[in-house]
Structure 1
Amino acid sequence: MTVASQAESGRLDRLLGYLEQDPENLALVADAAACAFDAGHLDQCGVLLARYEAARPLPPGLIHLHGLLAMAHGEFDEALQRFESLGEQHGQPGVDYNIAYAHAMRGRYEAAAALDAAVLDAIPGAPALKLRGLHALGRLDDATQLGRAYVDRPDASPACVGAFATLLFDRGDPDGARRLAERAPDTADGLVITGLFALEAGDEARAAALMQRALQTNPREARATLGLGLCLLSGQQFDAAGGTLDDAASRLATHAGAWVAAGWAYLMGGRIGAARERFERAAALDRGFGEAHGALAVADALDGRADDARRHAQVAQRLDPSGLSAAFAQSLLAEQHGDTNKANEIRSIALNRPFGPDGRTLMQVLTARGQRES
């Protein structure tokens, strides 16, 4: 418990003592509810709010507090109902920020992307929230412009710096991503990005530890779950990797790279049908994603479907001439000639064998692209 929360707990005890002497004093109930929330006594806060509401309708300040309590419990739809019932208080920076945050936690980012200058100036966490909203909606140029406007300010929050690191990673700027992640080492974003670089360098243990720390920092961080799945995949724990990557891909929903990574876990585990389902989902989400078609070509080649493999490989090479999966599929077609034992041998070394003119491995490609949406 922090010094501040200890002080609030002491104040709460005093307020509750006063309430025992004056149980009908609703002003004391309101003060005690706010104090309980600040002290982290969420259940006590809920009891006090219910006590007030049983006597009379909540005033705007307590409606807002009830919304904050709902968010603290992860009840974001309930929080939105409370915030949006405030009526005339719409337009106040704190209310607008909390509405945008609750929507973002439900996977709806339009309100976050629309946060205006008044909110950005008044609420320290608002620039990071808006940056994430723009990023999630695919407005990458707008997100980059916003990030550059804020991250070099003396008062830039670690959350904003970390969010911008993730954006730069997705935009193919590893040097910028690494530099910013080092400035936000204790944020979930910073931990994930640093972990991905560790994984790409072959340090699976450090990468996994960083992903676990990211999940402790923010259990809802789907990218950390995705990163942990990539660590399991690199360690050839294919069953565990498949389940973990499925979880990440389901929560990221429209993230084609996550579905490709999940598919590779199943493919490496010998479950070609399950892998194909995930590759097909990735290709449907982003028809221009060459690695999805290349992965389908590999699955078809391993399954003895040479014509389908060639077709998918041609599509993949047209979309991404430097794509590794398509090149790997062509190698399979040239080498195996339907030899199942050969296919199993190739599958067992596929992740970590250097392949291609730049010496990349499939694991490095999955680490770099699995975190990107395409």
Structure 2
Amino acid sequence: MSKNELSWTPAPGHGEEVLYAVDGPLGRVRLNRPRAINALDRASVDSLHQQLHAWAEDDTVAAVVLDGAGERGLCAGGDVHALRQAVLDGRPGEAEDFWAAEYAVNALIAAYPKPYVAWMDGIVMGGGVGVSAHGSVRLVTERTRLAMPETIIGFFPDVGGLWLLSRAPGELGTHVALTGATVGGADARVLGLADALVPSGAEGRLLAALREDPTADARALAAPVPVTDVATDPSPEPWLQTNRDWIDECYAGADATVVLERLLGHASPEARAAGETLATRSPHSVAVTLEGLRRAASMDVEQVLAQDLVLGRTFAAHPDFVEGVRAQVVDKDRSPRWAHASVADVPRSEVLAAFGEA
């Protein structure tokens, strides 16, 4: 059965923000807001929570497969424009409720009792990472552009992203978390956020293989797929791996000011470029993200998601979130006016307060 022959319907009582189909033994999930690159709003999150719970208990569904509508990607993240507006309108509780609902979906996926296969083609950012990288089979392609870009908008890598990035080799996750850098499919694998790199044209064959064996892991699915399906080699040398020496050296420790100084003063032009990028991010976000990342290394995913909710309340009240979304998403002038001039100006007491500590 091809994807065009399936009967795609919303979850009972929900709209068409997410569509579902039963494809033999597979429960198919399609994020369905293509004009917004399938950004997650509250309706999407509530729909996902309901249907994933139902399929977890349905013996006729052996595995779940997630993809996104349209050609641009799986998911560009949460609908931060709407969240910003809720904060501006004096309704920060709406943003906090959204994050609580979203993180509950992330926790459900991380503990899902059946294979959960994520087709991470195209743009996969923020909340898109949350609904994919916590799965058990994560497939990226030569088109994948993955990022946790929250420090760009005065936020932090939530949806359990700090748990994922704290477990990346060396300080690779620290680089990605603090700078918000976008990486390709090969680097997503290096980070541990993906399991296999396959050609973007292979989705149909992979679905056919899953219908035959819903328990197939990423290696089994990727092995028979020839890389000649795409015009370019889908597995270039990962940039993160090539640059790991200076990344591990510069990002070590828990002092964001020291990290920035090391980057800007390093002999490597790549390191200096990373430092220049980092200096443009919200200083508050960078300082809190680094602290959260170090804490996440000794937590389980549910503890990190609980920490994310605490941090979300703090960030909703901090001026950098409203300003960062304005500059990046609303006005798009890319010239945010942050509350602090640099990470050196963010007091330690303010970082600890973000975690609810005096």
Whose strand proportion is higher, 1 or 2?
2
- How high is the TM-score relative to the length of structure 2? 0.28
Structure with more relative contact order (C-alpha pairs < 8 Å, separation 6 or more): 2
TM-score between the two structures when normalised by the length of structure 1: 0.27
Which structure has the larger Rg?
1
